[in-house]
Structure 1
């Protein structure tokens, strides 16, 4: 049988792993600079923990895990006969791979809230799984890098998370624009258009504007039983000006007497104004009224990060989710969080050639193997190099030098070291820099310095 990969998954070579680690290490350093602490949760959760948290579309993309043993023995024969997949799922599966890191985090907070110090700030860098259709920048297994704060309603958390985004992408040299909106504004728009009962349908369709355009969104709204009259009232959404504060002013007029809409405008105004006061460039922060982020659990600010110079979906996103722990029986723990899309950030950096030389882990010295005593002396020297934190290895066989040269070149090893009988006798080391072709003989002491 010819080996193959499961769709939407990848193997990572040494170069890719090193570069991914470079991104992760940069993010981790910044998470900790901003006061976040690390957390890890299991790769799978109880299915009941995950379902109903991501909306109808999200629920369909959860990877279910079959119960162990004879999972068919407890199935209702009638459901089996009728192929009723919804009823069958709960009978043959009670666990699932995590879909994101936010819901497992909410579950953790609900289980441990008596022991935690609030506001509780955590970051988490782990893989998640979605039964999505694979395409460029979208995989079925991918890493999320999240930072969340729970236990604070302060809008300064939103301001801080914008700072965290900008510092992290600045460190990675990726030019970005952060799109911001507020879920209360979307609720206000639904109220304004008389479609409050269709809020989720409205936001899910609106969130696809980038992908399917105005015509596609209008078509989907009509398919979701939203009237042409309501759609006409919302037509101004598609012709926004570039001035965020001007757009907010226009909304204030439309939202006269609309409490939830006005609250959203007020919150967003604060976040934008404070961010600008802290020196955030107006070009880096965009009020995008059509940004909806199609997840049910957001209740306030929502963010989406786009790379400026590469055609790619969002490379980060998040928002405020004040009611998330409530579904686990714990009330009054407001939360806000952002996520960095590691895989898409990688693709952007690769396309723009942004990975520095140090993002690739390389062996500094390969010691040629001359066999017997020379090999043993080489290993003694290798131990001393490793003590100094310098990567070095001995070619395992006493093979022809050509073969050892080829190995070093293919692995991208910088220096080939010759420690033969002559060098051992004279306490010297000969090494050749394979990048520039220069060969030197130096004293053993000088080499170790």
Structure 2
């Protein structure tokens, strides 16, 4: 059982108390003196020798995890949440510790790194759906060290055009917005423009009267989103190549995209590919780039609107790239391009200054798929399946938003929720990046 956790006397006593109540001091002595463990003294205050910990000899931990039933190993990991909360005097809840392991925006405090590292190794050795969780934790703790030096941040302002359409898709209002942004200078003179998304509270999900809505868009719920920066456009093929040439962090990146063009959105990439891109971009720029949460994406897409699309009640092929052979509401049919279009080519943004939020390519989000919004976070964070130890699924689906060049208009709505397994690569799936204000 102890192969699943860092070994110290408090941990051993907790396992005895919670999982092996019939064990005694003799059993403890057999474990400590059986030739599997070697003592390591932790450093205490003022450099003095502190509490004695133990580590397995090389290869022993892996072998024990392999021969131990998965259910018992998982029980030990769950039991250790109590150890973290009580013995290490964690000042937050156990839920906060879970967030430390799984939420990319929550730092792992140094004293919990040993537990995080062994948890990651253990889950990966268990295989199946546990392996995905372990990879997620391992990716977080092996995230490149960015240090304190960052490229200087200079906010600039750009003008963008927004429109509002009526139920027929006719433009009834035009406006010019001033939007703040900063520019990341990537290799090969490639630029990445990041737009300021102001914090705020919105209703996530679709209202009951919205045409062609789905049950998974229920219940509508209030979400408060902190401010962040989001890519002005989906990541382009030129941006992809510039970052993909950087040093590997966790996985290789292969050439992507079925449709070719520097200013076309990158596509045919998996969720894992998108995360690796964010990791390399973070190391390059010394800012913590990531995928948006599903709540951040919908909040950013809406731009303060409550209509099915951020420009109004319907959509037309003059406003976005989707399958124009189909209609939404009272809108009219139009052309079906059957391919991606250059980012920003419609020259219409939403109120936050974001382009191509409807159609062109689906955009990966951090979140796991959930069948509806019951018990969803209300703080804008990613909704991850931390509790799904009992599901034997090998690869939990991840969220995509926004629709694509091949989508029906109802699937391009601000609220529409799509999901694929994270290894899927299709020529309609892309992404855009975000960075939190706190990480700048």
Task: Answer yes or no: same fold by TM over 0.5.
Answer: no
TM range (shorter): under 0.3
Which has the greater radius of gyration? 1
Bigger fraction of residues in helix: 1
Q: TM-score, normalised by structure 2?
A: 0.24
